[in-house]
Amino acid sequence: MTGWTLSWNGLRTVVELELKQRVRSRRWIWALVGWFVVIGLISWLIVAATDQVRGGGASDYSAGAMAFGMITYFVLGMGLLIAPAFTATSINGDRSAGTLATLQATRLSALELATGKLVAAWLAAAVFLVVALPFIAWSMLLGNISFWQVLVTFAVVFAEVAVVCAIGLGWSALVSRPAGSTFLTYFSVVVLTAITVIVVGMLALLVTRPEPVRVWGLNPADDAAYQLEVERYWQEHPEGGDEPPPPVTKCTWYNDTESVSHLDQIWWILAANPFVVVADAAPLPPGSAANLSDYRQLNSDPLALLRWGVRRMAIPPALERDRCTPLYDSLPGYTVEWDSGGTPRVYTSGGTLVNVSPVQVQPVNVENPIWPWGLGANVLLGAVFFWVAVRRLSVPYGTLPSGTRVA
């Protein structure tokens, strides 16, 4: 048995053996039926929710984007849970059953065995993802979701599932007991998805510190006088009245101290999170890449929301604050709008401009993609585990754990 040779006939032989071994029972069919029913039910609930959003005045595209994003997150999450079931016991399970040594005694190489097991597991997991395609098409009908967006998004989803399959294959080669390799594979998925978020949340406390900031607003004396003026207005107009309260005219710059979180120092921990990778890779409609903040506010797109959140974390914190514009939020007769540059403007109900904030909001764009780095890190991690699997399948063996069955 050679180690690192790869031929089409050898690869096809291993893939066929793996698929026949794992897909020949009727439980596979019932699993697909159950998966189809579950994802259909979840998709129906998502679509019903988006119909409520549409009924509330949202555009067709907004409803379609919400449905597509939620279904994508659900399919990705379930795919990451299903994938370990196909590889977490692929090697140690065959070794315990005494069937692995038979294959190792043939002319099949260790690389052919590992690659065949990985491809077969990935194809089996991909079947569950393909079952979700009718519901993806359903979300496309709700709005202007392009075929290109679906293709790119699910190509990245399939890649992430392949990475998890490789991780499970590596653990099944390293750990002699199937229960241990299964636990470690699922734990690896939890680390990539949930624990990275928890770590960022905890580290956020360590990168938060008091810093001087420049504030555009009312100084304490003017703020107290303005609050008395507003209180007097509500006493005279308990129902709001026809005339709005007087505008805030004494806003000025002053210095203050505030707790500032430097999330730009720790955001990269989320770059390899599969959900962040998929969200950042999903194509956007034309014109929305220049200012992701505007697109996020105008459309209920969960993929864009996560992409915006991570990219916003990567921007160094601004040291200027606008405490003048928020004063208008609770006042009747005024409307706060944001221009294309993210600067808030205050208008009266008659359309008269009364305030423009001098605090510039830095737009969040997608000029520098994050997902190639995150996906690359995941692929590298999967490649390391795959290499471990090939090394552990090579014969003659080195030192095996006590109690390990060979044949």
pLDDT at 203 over 70: yes
Tokens of 145: 């979701």
State the residue for tokens 């066929």.
16
pLDDT at 155 over 80: yes
Q: Residues 324, 248: contact at Cβ < 8 Å?
A: yes
What does pTM read for this prediction?
Answer: 0.85
Torsion angle in degrees (nearest 10) through CA of 119, 151, 373, 188: -50
Question: What are the angstrom distances between the C-alpha of 311 and each of 263, 266, 268, 307, 348?
Answer: 10, 12, 10, 6, 34
Average pLDDT over residues 277-286: 85
More reliable by pLDDT, 366 or 215: 215
SS3 per residue for 337-404: EECCCCCEEEEECCCCEEEECCCCCCCCCCCCCCHHHHHHHHHHHHHHHHHHHHHHHCCCCCCCCCCC
Under the banding of pLDDT at 50, 70 and 90, the label for residue 241 is: low
Average pLDDT over residues 158-180: 93
pLDDT at 221 over 80: yes
pLDDT at 24 over 90: no
> Peptide bond before 396: cis, by omega within 30 degrees of 0?
yes
Tokens of 271: 């770059």
pLDDT at 164 over 90: yes
Q: Which DSSP category does 246 fall into?
A: P
**Beta-carbon contacts of residue 212 (< 8 Å; ≥ 6 apart):** 255, 256, 257, 319
Average pLDDT over residues 207-225: 89
- Write down the mean pLDDT value for the chain: 83
**Beta-carbon contacts of residue 301 (< 8 Å; ≥ 6 apart):** 62, 65, 66, 69, 295
- pLDDT, position 140: 76
pLDDT at 58 over 70: no
More reliable by pLDDT, 397 or 318: 318
**282-341 pLDDT tens trace:** 887 666 655 666 666 556 778 888 988 898 899 898 888 888 888 887 777 788 877 766
Q: Residues 345, 339: contact at Cβ < 8 Å?
A: yes
Average pLDDT over residues 177-199: 95
What DSSP assignment string belongs to 277-326?
A: HHHHHS---TT-SS-HHHHHHHS--HHHHHHHHHHHHHSPPPSEEE-SGG
More reliable by pLDDT, 352 or 120: 120
Distance (Å, rounded) from C-alpha 25 to C-alpha 38? 21
Average pLDDT over residues 234-242: 72
Task: Single out the residue of 77, 104, 67 nearest to residue 406, CA to CA.
Answer: 104
- pLDDT, position 3: 65
Distance (Å, rounded) from C-alpha 90 to C-alpha 120? 10
- pLDDT, position 398: 60
- Phi-psi label, residue 38: left if phi above 0, alpha if psi -120 to 50, beta otherwise: alpha
Under the banding of pLDDT at 50, 70 and 90, the label for residue 166 is: very high
pLDDT at 388 over 80: yes
- pLDDT, position 192: 96
Percent of all residues in the chain with a pLDDT value above 90, rounded to a whole number: 31
- pLDDT, position 340: 62
Tokens of 277: 């990778």
Task: Single out the residue of 195, 193, 201 nearest to residue 73, CA to CA.
Answer: 193
